[in-house]
Structure 1
Amino acid sequence: MAVIKQLNRFCGVLVLLAVSLCGLNASRPAVNQELSTLFNELWQLDENRMRPGIDYNISVQGRASFVSPGNHVVQDHASLPLFSSVDENKLKNLTTATSFMKLLDNYEFSTGVAERVTAEEQTETNLFLDAVLQTEVMKRTHRYLVSKGKSSSNLRLFKNQLHLIWFHLYHRQRNTSPDSCGFEHVFVGETKSGTEIIGFHNWIQFYLQEKNSHLDYKGFKARMNDLPDQDDHVLSLQFSWHGLVKPVGSAFIGTSPEFEMALFTVIFLMNTERSTTVLVNIDQCQMELVVIRHGRALGTAYPKLLSSNSRHVRQHSH
């Protein structure tokens, strides 16, 4: 572990050098060591994570072709579903996952259509947040945010803060009633103007929509020399959903809802810019985590895999 930590530090130094030496690449930030340390701790604490090859199996198949936005006729480079198996018994025994899945049918997926929140849906949201707050992942996240002066130590106030960030309804499309929220956009997915898919960065929703034949996986997206592995924790994907195509979208694979919420909540609260990109090393992966605000609520959040299976460590150790 000490060697890997040293390599990660070395990796961070090299990235800093590269950024300072090459103005053209100045948009690539240095590895955020503090958040990498925290997120690795959350990774270790994520006992509700599903394990590749044990709790689920994926079949990445072919590399997806380029699709211009708005084009819905695409070549299919994956004749099989992405998820060849998921242990649904395990999924249904995870409290946060079951309460999470109950929220997925609470939204109008088309922007511009007002959201109506029923009393039952409010209860479901409350039960989900309660379940999330009981996990070690969110307890550790809460302690970190309190130590940074970004959250109250009062659990009720922290829950209200999470509710505002993730579930506060707002206008995504102008001249409409509130039609969106961070949770719907990131975890459920939306369609815009009947022409494009926006958001939709969650693997459980992907699996359920695929299983119910609402979604068709078209292939993976990656750099030319990169091939995704079955155990990659982040994938870039192309898929069609309700007759529309997402040319490229990325998601964590196998992680719990609370792990994803924790990462993006920390980045949201630790920064004030409208758009924030943080470079982190988590487990054996190097990734960018992108968070875009919508006022005091979350607009969107997603991961972008840069390298997996410690390739970034090996490259810098040669």
Structure 2
Amino acid sequence: MVNMDHWQGYKRPPSEQEYSDEVGTGTSIEPSEEELADFLQACNRLWQLDLNRLEPGKDYQIDCGEGKKVFQKEDMAEGSLFCYVDEDIFRTKPTFARFCSLLDNYNPNAGCKEVVTSEEKQEQAAFIEEISRTAPIKYLHKYLSRKGIVSENYQDFKRMLTSLWFDLYGRGGTSGSSSAFEHVFVGEIKQHCEQEVSGFHNWLQFYLEEAKGCVDYHGYILPRRRGETPDSETQLLTVQFKWNGVLKSVSSTLVGVSPEFEIALYTLCFFVGGEDNYVQLGPYSVNIKCYRFGNKIGSVFPIAEC
């Protein structure tokens, strides 16, 4: 299990916390004219700028188990998806630890009004401050400000990110019951005729919940193309699992990527893209599906295009 003792320090006011050094602001994080003209190229640039992305087989080990069709409900995986994650990453990569410290701030039952404490707000602000020192977020700011979408002032930009991801809105008929961060990264359990998991598209949340025994991995979903099956090196997985006993029949997740990469990618797609965003992320052809909820992110997640 991950050592979480130092995470309590993240609840202090952001001004009282220590952060990692800022990434250099040289030309390496300046969007090119080609990227400004084609945001799909910008998405791939974010993949290249994800300096904190983990290396399969070195930083973590997964076992994909057996493949299955979406409609098959039986468990096809004998063990867990994650065999091993190097705990050092939570010490050497502070954006990972700060992200994980946010995950227990939410009630998983959709429609349940959230209560956000002052300490949790401080955790949110400190997380945004930490990721704002990384290359993907700095690139995102330069890209959106060059487009005239956000302020050139970096403090204003950070406040916008905090509002976009953490402001509460109504989902399922109850005001203040959800947020973009909760839905996309933590997950929610709908309480309709039959319970179902919605959201929950983050690998770190999957790993921590699996370690606690709250996630039961059922296997990967068979690719539409024959002969292309995931293995321990794959960083885009489509899986089936149960969370707190409730089935998620199909869910795609980017494994090993950093929190700042996902925040940057999904924010970029929200502001510049459409509902379907067919992008190339390194070796992976992905559709970043983006649903809007008024001026908020309703949901955003990757779908493997294979």
- Asked whether the two chains share a fold, i.e. TM above 0.5, the reply is yes
Match of 1:235 among 229, 234, 237: 237
CA distance in 2, matches of 1:112, 1:283: 37
Paired residues of 2:39 and 2:272 also in contact (CA < 8 A): no
Report what 1:76 is aligned to. Answer: 75
Q: Which amino acid aligns with 1:51?
A: E
* Aligned pairs for 1:108-187 within 5 A: 108-174=107-173, 176-187=174-185
Q: Deviations over 1:236-269 (max 9, x none)?
A: 1100011100000111100001101111101111
Report what 1:266 is aligned to. Answer: 268
Percent identity for Structure 1 against Structure 2: 39
Deviation for aligned residue 1:33: 8.5
Paired residues of 1:214 and 1:241 also in contact (CA < 8 A): yes
Q: Secondary structure of 2:39's partner?
A: helix
Paired residues of 2:166 and 2:181 also in contact (CA < 8 A): yes
**TM-score, normalising length from structure 1?**
0.81
Paired residues of 1:203 and 1:251 also in contact (CA < 8 A): yes
Q: Secondary structure of 1:246's partner?
A: strand
Report what 1:255 is aligned to. Answer: 257
Match of 2:68 among 37, 52, 64: 64
Q: Which amino acid aligns with 2:224?
A: R
Q: Which amino acid aligns with 1:190?
A: E
Report the CA distance shift for 1:284/1:224 in structure 2 as closer, same or farther (over 3 A): closer
* Aligned pairs for 1:1-318 within 5 A: 34-67=38-71, 74-174=73-173, 176-193=174-191, 195-221=195-221, 222-223=223-224, 225=226, 226-271=228-273, 276-307=275-306
Q: Deviations over 1:216-246 (max 9, x none)?
A: 1001012251311322221111000111000
Q: Deviations over 1:191-215 (max 9, x none)?
A: 0106010000000000000011000
CA distance in 1, matches of 2:71, 2:168: 31
Q: Secondary structure of 2:104's partner?
A: coil
Q: Which amino acid aligns with 1:58?
A: I
Paired residues of 2:141 and 2:150 also in contact (CA < 8 A): yes
CA distance in 1, matches of 2:304, 2:90: 25
Report the CA distance shift for 1:270/1:36 in structure 2 as closer, same or farther (over 3 A): closer
Deviation for aligned residue 1:177: 3.0
Q: Deviations over 1:49-94 (max 9, x none)?
A: 11111101111111134338xxxxx311001101111111123321
Structure 1 portions without partners, runs of 5+: 1-31, 69-73, 308-318
CA distance in 1, matches of 2:247, 2:64: 18
Q: Secondary structure of 1:179's partner?
A: strand
Q: Secondary structure of 2:189's partner?
A: strand
Q: Secondary structure of 2:131's partner?
A: helix
Count of matched residue pairs: 267
Q: Which amino acid aligns with 1:82?
A: L
Instruction: Between 245-254 and 32-41, report the one with greater CA deviation.
Output: 32-41
For the aligned residue pairs, the C-alpha RMSD in angstroms reads 1.6
Deviation for aligned residue 1:156: 1.6
